[in-house]
A and B are shown apart, each in its own frame.
Chain A
Amino acid sequence: ETGVTQTPRHLVMGMTNKKSLKCEQHLGHNAMYWYKQSAKKPLELMFVYSLEERVENNSVPSRFSPECPNSSHLFLHLHTLQPEDSALYLCASSQEAYRRGEQYFGPGTRLTVT
């Protein structure tokens, strides 16, 4: 595997389900990000992890719970979601030492909440 991978690519879940999104980066980076992309809305930064510590949480509802067990893996745990949470969830990574914000993105998980 190369670059940034995300699983699953598509997910349909009911409002009472619990599921997790997984992101893995194979670039040796030390920062990881979750974004939400909804139709007709700008990209929304949700969470930022640097050196496995969360450094930003942009007023995201508690039904979204991130986890970064090491610098290569990032999870987004989902529970009791709402239909408006249906979106494309993108993961990205960067190397903070010298890349100056240059981020590499995964293909995304298309989430549909029914």
Chain B
Amino acid sequence: AQSVTQPDIHITVSEGASLELRCNYSYGATPYLFWYVQSPGQGLQLLLKYFSGDTLVQGIKGFEAEFKRSQSSFNLRKPSVHWSDAAEYFCAVGGFTGTASKLTFGTGTRLQVTL
């Protein structure tokens, strides 16, 4: 069965500092991988996705993620964090259920940004 692990429950960074959020997955085939962001009381917004090809993918809001098959990882990065990036971040791996696809989510990492 597929699974996603986000080892960091809570991370605090200073505004302007770089950020890396860790994600490890377990999946039998080539994974489809996603990062979502959730602001308090809101739904999840898709930040970026990896299907195949270039292992470094660019997303919205200046985020990027790198797929490393050898490490089963898909870490999210941003060179310079803004106060508005404070939110919860979810990594997910895509799979299938019957005729539909499904996502398996990690437990999330809450990002706090200090000024």
Contact = CB atoms under 8 A, between A and B. Distances in A.
B86 to A, nearest CB: 18
Given A42-B106, A43-B90, A101-B94, A31 B101 contact: yes
B83 interface: no
B75 to A, nearest CB: 19
Contacts of A96: 99-101
Given A43-B105, A101-B32, A102-B34, A56 B44 contact: no
Nearest to A48: B100
Interface residues of A, number: 30
A51 B44 contact: no
A102 B35 CA distance: 10
Given A43-B90, A101-B32, A101-B103, A56 B43 contact: no
B105 A42 contact: yes
Q: Give the residue among A45, A56, A101 with the most B Cβ atoms within 10 A.
A: A101
B45 A56 contact: no
Q: Is the contact region of chain A dominated by helix, strand, or loop, or is it mixed?
A: strand
A90 B45 CA distance: 12
Contacts, number: 74
B92 to A, nearest CB: 8
Interface residues of B, number: 27
A104 B97 contact: no
A55 interface: yes
B56 interface: no
A103 B97 contact: no
Given A48-B98, A101-B101, A103-B46, 16 more contacts: A31-B101, A48-B102, A50-B100, A53-B99, A55-B97, A88-B41, A92-B44, A99-B101, A101-B32, A101-B94, A102-B32, A102-B46, A105-B36, A105-B44, A105-B45, A108-B42
Interface of A: 4, 6, 31, 33, 42-43, 45, 48-51, 53, 55-56, 88, 90, 92, 94, 96, 99-108, 110
